[in-house]
Structure 1
Amino acid sequence: MAKFTDEDDALLEELGVEAETKREGSRTPREERIIAGFEEVQRFYEKHGRVPQHGEGRDIFERLYAVRLDRLREQQDCRDLLTPLDHQGLLSGVGAQSSPPASEELDDDALLAELGVEGDGSSEISELRHVRSATERREAEEIANREKCPDFDQFKPLFKKMQEELSAGIRQTRPFELKAEIRPGSWFILGGQKAYVVEVGEIFTTPQGRTDARLRVVFDNGTQSGMLMRSLQRALNGDKTSRRITDPSAGPLFSGQQEEDDQASGTIYVLRSKSDHPLVAANRDLVHKIGVTNLSVEQRIAGARLQPTFLMADVEVVATYKLFNVNRTKLETVLHRVFGAAQLKIEIKDRFGRPVVPQEWFMVPRFIIDEAVEKIKEGTIIDYVYDPKSVALALATRKM
C-alpha cells in the first residue's frame, strides 16, 4: 500500500476525502505475535509442502506449529487479522486433519508446556533447552510415583545385610551397563537410594518391538514402585551417580585334594548370543550358553561367529566362575542335566550349509544360573533340576 505524505493528506482534506491509512506500528503486541507465529507456520508449509501434523513421533516444532494453526483457525479475531496474509489458504483448511480437542486459548509458552518442552521464557522457539517425549515424561512419573511398601519389615534385614556386605568388600558397586542386569534379586543405587528388584513380571513386546516387563522395586526408604524395566533402565542411565551392586564374590567353587581325573582348574562361563536369528533375538535376555572350559574364556570364544556351537555369531560374556580341583567334564554334564528341560531347540547351518543342533544353549534367566552356582558351592547341585514353568530350581525326582 502506498504511503501518504503530509502534503498528500492536506490535499485530500481539501478535496473532502478521508484517507483511512493504517500506519506502521498500529498493531498491538498481541497482533504482531500472532502474525509472527503464523509466518512460522507458512514457512513450514513452503519447506515441506504440507501443513504441520500432530503426533508424538513427529518433530517437536511440527507438533507446536500444528497446535498453533488449530488455535488460529478457531479464533475469529485471528482469522480476520491473518486472512489478508494467508496466500496459501492455510486458515481455510488446506490439508486439514483431525486434531486433539483445543477448548482453551493457549499462548506459545502454554503450548510448549503442554508438549513437554522446557524453555526459559525468553528464548526463541528454535532455542529450546530441553525437549522431553511423552514416553520420557511417563517414565519419569513412574520413577517419581512411589508408594509405601506395606511389607517393608521383611526387606529391612536384606538392606542391612547388603550394607554390611558392601562395607566388608563382599559386594562392589559398578556402573550400570545392561538391561540384562535388571533381574529378580538384583541391587542398584538410584538417586542416592538402594533399590532392590523383588519381582520381574511377564516379559512382553512393546509396539516398537522391544521387550519389557513390569517390576516390583523396593527402596531403602520404605517405598516401592511398579515401574517398567525400561523405565528403570533409563533412570539408571540418566543418573550419573547410579550404580549396580554386584553379587557376592563367589571365590573358588571347589578345593581339596586333586583326584586322578580332576582338572587342576577350569571356568564355568555364561554367554549371550548376538545372533539375529528370530528365536534368539526375541529372547535375547533369556537365551544363555552354559559351558565349562579349562582354557581362558577369551580363547574359548575366539572365532565364535564361525562356529555353529556359538550359533555362528559373536557372543557376550555374561558371567564366569572359577573352578579348582573339579572334574570339568562331569560338572558340565551335571549342569546340562539340571537345565535340560530348558534346552534351546534351534538348528543352525554351519559354514558349509550343513544343519547343526547346538547342545549348550538354554532359555533360562541369569539369576537361576547364579542359584545353580550356589548349589555347586554347597555340593547339592545333583539334587536339583530347573523347572521352566515355575522358573525355579526344584528337587529332582529320584528313580528307585
Structure 2
Amino acid sequence: MAREFTQEDDALLAELGVEVETKKAVTRTPREERIIAGFEEIQRFAEEHRVVPSHGEERDIFERLYAVRLDRISELQECRDLVEPLDDQGLLTGTANAPVADAEELDDDALLAELGIEVEVPPITELKHVRSTAEKKAAEEIAHRDKCLDFETFKPFFEQVQKELDSGLRETRPFEMKAEIEKGRFFIVSGQKAYVAEKGETTITDQGRTDARLRVIFDNGTESSMLMRSLQRSLNKDEAGRRITEPTAGPLFSDQAIDGDEASGTIYVLRSKADHPLVAENRMLVHKIGVTSMSVEKRIAGAQLQPTFLMANVEIVATYELYNINRTKLENLIHRIFEPARLDIEVMDRFGRPVVPREWFLVPLAAVKDAVEKIRDGSIFNHYYDPKSALLKTKGKP
C-alpha cells in the first residue's frame, strides 16, 4: 500500500539529488470555472458535428450562439489564456475574429452571458423593483387560486398554443385594453399562460364601468374566479404581461402580399448538382430546405464554394413567400418535421476541413409541399413524417 512521504523521506531524496516536487492544488474563481465550462460546451459541439461553430442565418441557433461565444473568448486575452491549454481541437487558432453583426447587437450583459458569465444581481439597497401597495394587491388577486380539477380538459389547449407560438402562427403582444379580455383568449400574466374559460354576465360597477366574473385557467394546473377588471389590472401592472394573439394574423404563404402584410422572407427548396455518390444516386429526393430574408438567387450565389450547399451548384425547385411570421421558428419547425429523413453526409470545405451540412433531407418534393400546406392550415402539429412511406401521416394512426 502506498504511503505518504515524510519530511525525513524528503531529506533523504534530497541527499540523493532527487528533487521532490510539491504539487499545488489549482484553484479557480467561479468566473473562470464558468468560462471554462462555456468553452467545453463549444468543444462538445465541435466534436459531435465535426465542425467549428459558424455564424450565418442558415445556422442552428445554438451553433450561432457558440460561434459568438468562441469569438469573444478568442478576442479577450484573459479568456484566451485561460482555455488555450484545453484547446486540443485547435478551435482558437481557427476562429475568425472579424466583427459579427449578431454580436454587435448584444449589450454588455448579453455578451457576458454568451461567455457563460453571470451578471451580478443589483445590491439589495436598490429600491428599483420594490412594488407599490397597488401592485402587491393586484399580485395577491392573481395569487388567490384553486386547483383546477378538470385541468386535463384544458392542458391540450396550452400545449397547442405553445406549439403555435414556436412556429410563429401566434405571437405575443403588449396588453392594451379591457376589451381584449374575452372568452377563449390567452394571456401571459405573472409569467404564466392564462386562459379565459368562462365569462359571466356583464355588470355595471358603482363607478359606471363594465365588469364580469371570469373563470381563468393557468398553465400550472390552477384556476381563479376573478373579475375582469382584476385581470386587467394585473396585466397592466405586470411589465411582462402580454396578450397571445389568435392564429389569424395573416397568411403564412402567398404569392402576393395583401395590403398591410409585412414581408418576412422566403422558404426555398433546392436540388444539388453535386457529384457526390449519395447525391447522384438520389438526386430527385435530396433537397435542401431553408428560409432566407434575401432573394433566393442572392442566397445561393457562390454555392460551389460553400459547404452548406455541398460545394456544388444548386437548382431552385420551389419557393414560398412568407408574411407576418418568424423565419427562424418556421425553419426550425420544418427541420423538426423532416428530422427522420435528415441526410447524413460529409463534404470537405475549400480548406480541406470536413463539414456536415444540416439542411439536406432525403424527401420527395411532394412531401415538402404537403408540409407547407399543413403549416398553412395549422394542422402540421397533428402530423409526422414517415421515411418508409415518404409521406406525412396523422399522429396516432399507422
- TM-score, normalisation: structure 2: 0.34
Answer with 1 or 2: which has the greater Rg: 1
- TM-score, normalisation: structure 1: 0.34
